[in-house]
Amino acid sequence: MTDVEFFFDLGSPYSYLAYHQLPKIASARGAGIVWRPVLLGGIFKATGNASPIEIPAKGRYTMVDLERWADYWGIPFSINPWFPFNTLTLMRGATGTLLLGAEPFQRYLAAMFHALFGDPRNLNEPAELAWVLERAGLPEARFAELVNAPEVKDRLKADTSEAVERGVFGAPTMFVGREMFWGQDRLLFVDRALAGAP
Protein backbone atom coordinates (compact mmCIF):
# COMPACT_ATOMS: atom_id res chain seq x y z
CA MET A 1 0.00 0.00 0.00
CA THR A 2 1.29 3.44 -0.94
CA ASP A 3 1.38 6.16 1.69
CA VAL A 4 1.20 9.91 1.30
CA GLU A 5 3.25 12.10 3.61
CA PHE A 6 1.47 15.26 4.73
CA PHE A 7 3.69 18.10 5.93
CA PHE A 8 1.51 20.74 7.56
CA ASP A 9 1.31 23.60 10.05
CA LEU A 10 -1.88 24.25 11.99
CA GLY A 11 -1.61 27.97 11.28
CA SER A 12 -1.83 27.41 7.53
CA PRO A 13 -5.40 27.79 6.25
CA TYR A 14 -4.48 25.85 3.13
CA SER A 15 -3.29 23.02 5.40
CA TYR A 16 -6.74 23.18 7.01
CA LEU A 17 -8.43 22.69 3.63
CA ALA A 18 -6.08 19.83 2.70
CA TYR A 19 -6.65 18.24 6.12
CA HIS A 20 -10.34 17.87 5.22
CA GLN A 21 -9.77 16.55 1.69
CA LEU A 22 -6.65 14.38 1.80
CA PRO A 23 -8.15 11.60 3.97
CA LYS A 24 -10.96 11.16 1.44
CA ILE A 25 -8.48 10.83 -1.41
CA ALA A 26 -6.23 8.47 0.52
CA SER A 27 -9.15 6.30 1.61
CA ALA A 28 -10.48 6.03 -1.94
CA ARG A 29 -7.05 4.86 -3.12
CA GLY A 30 -6.45 2.51 -0.19
CA ALA A 31 -3.52 4.66 0.91
CA GLY A 32 -2.26 5.62 4.35
CA ILE A 33 -1.36 9.11 5.53
CA VAL A 34 1.92 9.78 7.30
CA TRP A 35 1.26 12.93 9.33
CA ARG A 36 4.27 15.26 9.47
CA PRO A 37 3.82 18.31 11.72
CA VAL A 38 6.39 21.00 10.90
CA LEU A 39 7.02 24.60 11.84
CA LEU A 40 6.16 26.74 8.82
CA GLY A 41 7.97 29.76 10.26
CA GLY A 42 11.16 27.71 10.40
CA ILE A 43 10.68 26.59 6.81
CA PHE A 44 10.12 30.17 5.67
CA LYS A 45 13.26 31.30 7.47
CA ALA A 46 15.37 28.51 5.99
CA THR A 47 14.10 28.94 2.43
CA GLY A 48 13.60 32.71 2.20
CA ASN A 49 9.90 32.23 1.61
CA ALA A 50 7.17 34.24 3.37
CA SER A 51 3.47 34.09 4.08
CA PRO A 52 1.30 35.56 1.29
CA ILE A 53 -0.36 37.67 3.97
CA GLU A 54 2.83 39.74 4.15
CA ILE A 55 2.22 41.06 0.62
CA PRO A 56 -0.92 43.25 0.83
CA ALA A 57 -2.35 42.55 -2.64
CA LYS A 58 -1.55 38.83 -2.42
CA GLY A 59 -2.91 38.69 1.10
CA ARG A 60 -6.25 40.16 0.03
CA TYR A 61 -6.48 37.73 -2.86
CA THR A 62 -5.54 34.79 -0.64
CA MET A 63 -8.53 35.43 1.61
CA VAL A 64 -10.85 35.33 -1.41
CA ASP A 65 -9.12 32.21 -2.74
CA LEU A 66 -9.52 30.40 0.57
CA GLU A 67 -13.23 31.14 0.68
CA ARG A 68 -13.65 29.93 -2.90
CA TRP A 69 -11.94 26.61 -2.19
CA ALA A 70 -13.85 26.10 1.06
CA ASP A 71 -17.12 26.76 -0.75
CA TYR A 72 -16.14 24.45 -3.62
CA TRP A 73 -15.43 21.57 -1.24
CA GLY A 74 -18.19 22.37 1.25
CA ILE A 75 -15.76 22.87 4.12
CA PRO A 76 -16.75 25.18 7.01
CA PHE A 77 -14.30 28.07 6.87
CA SER A 78 -14.03 31.45 8.53
CA ILE A 79 -11.15 33.86 8.26
CA ASN A 80 -9.63 34.06 11.72
CA PRO A 81 -9.43 37.72 12.78
CA TRP A 82 -6.29 36.93 14.84
CA PHE A 83 -4.45 35.44 11.84
CA PRO A 84 -1.50 35.01 11.41
CA PHE A 85 -0.25 33.17 14.49
CA ASN A 86 2.97 32.07 16.08
CA THR A 87 2.31 28.33 15.95
CA LEU A 88 5.38 27.05 17.81
CA THR A 89 3.40 25.86 20.85
CA LEU A 90 0.55 24.48 18.75
CA MET A 91 2.94 22.53 16.54
CA ARG A 92 4.80 21.14 19.54
CA GLY A 93 1.36 20.03 20.69
CA ALA A 94 0.77 18.32 17.35
CA THR A 95 4.13 16.57 17.54
CA GLY A 96 3.56 15.57 21.15
CA THR A 97 0.08 14.16 20.60
CA LEU A 98 1.31 12.29 17.52
CA LEU A 99 3.85 10.57 19.75
CA LEU A 100 0.98 9.63 22.10
CA GLY A 101 -0.87 7.82 19.33
CA ALA A 102 -3.33 8.21 16.45
CA GLU A 103 -6.46 8.76 18.54
CA PRO A 104 -5.26 11.66 20.72
CA PHE A 105 -3.47 13.15 17.71
CA GLN A 106 -6.61 13.16 15.57
CA ARG A 107 -8.67 14.63 18.42
CA TYR A 108 -6.08 17.37 18.83
CA LEU A 109 -5.95 18.14 15.09
CA ALA A 110 -9.72 18.31 14.79
CA ALA A 111 -10.07 20.61 17.78
CA MET A 112 -7.22 22.94 16.80
CA PHE A 113 -8.08 23.25 13.12
CA HIS A 114 -11.72 23.93 14.03
CA ALA A 115 -10.71 26.58 16.56
CA LEU A 116 -8.45 28.24 14.02
CA PHE A 117 -10.55 28.15 10.84
CA GLY A 118 -13.90 26.48 11.49
CA ASP A 119 -15.22 28.51 14.45
CA PRO A 120 -12.29 30.89 15.01
CA ARG A 121 -10.93 31.56 18.46
CA ASN A 122 -7.90 33.50 19.62
CA LEU A 123 -5.51 30.70 20.53
CA ASN A 124 -2.87 33.26 21.49
CA GLU A 125 -4.94 33.71 24.65
CA PRO A 126 -4.10 31.06 27.29
CA ALA A 127 -7.70 30.81 28.50
CA GLU A 128 -8.99 30.23 24.98
CA LEU A 129 -6.35 27.60 24.29
CA ALA A 130 -7.11 25.87 27.59
CA TRP A 131 -10.82 25.72 26.67
CA VAL A 132 -10.07 24.14 23.29
CA LEU A 133 -7.63 21.68 24.84
CA GLU A 134 -10.24 20.62 27.37
CA ARG A 135 -12.70 19.92 24.57
CA ALA A 136 -10.02 17.79 22.89
CA GLY A 137 -9.60 15.77 26.09
CA LEU A 138 -6.11 17.11 26.71
CA PRO A 139 -5.86 18.84 30.10
CA GLU A 140 -3.83 22.04 30.09
CA ALA A 141 -1.26 20.63 32.53
CA ARG A 142 -0.67 17.57 30.35
CA PHE A 143 -0.36 19.80 27.28
CA ALA A 144 2.23 21.98 29.01
CA GLU A 145 4.18 18.86 29.92
CA LEU A 146 4.08 17.65 26.33
CA VAL A 147 5.13 20.89 24.62
CA ASN A 148 8.04 21.35 27.01
CA ALA A 149 9.35 17.79 26.65
CA PRO A 150 12.85 17.77 25.07
CA GLU A 151 11.98 14.83 22.82
CA VAL A 152 8.98 16.73 21.42
CA LYS A 153 11.01 19.88 20.78
CA ASP A 154 13.77 17.86 19.14
CA ARG A 155 11.34 15.90 16.96
CA LEU A 156 9.65 19.05 15.64
CA LYS A 157 13.02 20.63 14.86
CA ALA A 158 14.24 17.47 13.13
CA ASP A 159 11.09 17.06 11.06
CA THR A 160 11.17 20.71 10.02
CA SER A 161 14.83 20.39 9.00
CA GLU A 162 14.04 17.21 7.06
CA ALA A 163 11.25 19.00 5.23
CA VAL A 164 13.63 21.76 4.15
CA GLU A 165 16.24 19.22 3.05
CA ARG A 166 13.63 17.50 0.89
CA GLY A 167 12.69 20.74 -0.86
CA VAL A 168 9.65 21.86 1.15
CA PHE A 169 9.13 25.63 1.10
CA GLY A 170 5.50 25.96 2.21
CA ALA A 171 2.50 24.13 3.63
CA PRO A 172 0.77 21.94 2.95
CA THR A 173 3.26 19.79 1.09
CA MET A 174 2.60 16.16 0.22
CA PHE A 175 4.95 13.42 -0.92
CA VAL A 176 4.03 10.23 -2.70
CA GLY A 177 7.30 8.39 -2.80
CA ARG A 178 9.82 10.95 -4.02
CA GLU A 179 7.26 13.09 -5.81
CA MET A 180 6.49 16.37 -4.05
CA PHE A 181 3.19 18.25 -4.33
CA TRP A 182 2.81 21.71 -2.79
CA GLY A 183 -0.54 23.27 -1.99
CA GLN A 184 -4.05 21.95 -1.49
CA ASP A 185 -4.83 22.82 -5.11
CA ARG A 186 -2.45 20.02 -6.18
CA LEU A 187 -4.48 17.30 -4.49
CA LEU A 188 -5.63 16.15 -7.93
CA PHE A 189 -2.03 15.24 -8.70
CA VAL A 190 -1.65 13.51 -5.33
CA ASP A 191 -4.68 11.42 -6.26
CA ARG A 192 -3.16 10.57 -9.65
CA ALA A 193 0.15 9.62 -8.03
CA LEU A 194 -1.62 7.34 -5.56
CA ALA A 195 -3.46 5.75 -8.47
CA GLY A 196 -0.12 5.03 -10.11
CA ALA A 197 -0.56 7.42 -13.02
CA PRO A 198 2.68 8.17 -14.91
CATH of residue 177: 3.40.30.10
Helix (H) or strand (E) holding 193: helix 187-194
Long-range contacts at 150-153 (CB < 8 A, ≥ 24 apart): 151/99, 152/92, 152/95, 152/96, 152/99, 153/92
Contact 117, 110 (CB under 8 A): no
Percent of the chain with pLDDT over 90: 88
What pLDDT score was predicted for residue 85?
81
Which of the residues 12, 27, 51, 161 is marked catalytic?
A: 12
What average pLDDT does this structure show over 155-166? 98
User: What does the pLDDT average to over 174-182?
Assistant: 97
pLDDT at 163 over 70: yes
Mean pLDDT of the chain: 95
What is the pLDDT at residue 2? 84
Name the band, by pLDDT with cuts 50, 70 and 90, for residue 1.
low
Provide the 8-state DSSP code for 84.
S
Which pLDDT score, from 0 to 100, does residue 21 have?
98
The CA distance from 71 to 89, in Å, is 30
Find the domain containing 20 and state its range. 3-194
Query: Nearest 5°: phi and psi at 4?
Result: -120, 130
H helices present in 9-149, as ranges:
13-28, 40-47, 56-73, 88-100, 102-113, 126-135, 140-147
Catalytic annotation present for 12: yes
Radius of gyration of the chain (CA): 16
Structural domains of the chain, count: 1
Residue 51 pLDDT class (50, 70, 90 cuts):
confident
For residue 52, what pLDDT is reported? 85
Q: Does residue 197 carry a pLDDT above 70?
A: no
Q: Which helix (H) or strand (E) holds 5?
A: strand 3-8
Give the residue with greater pLDDT, 1 vs 157: 157
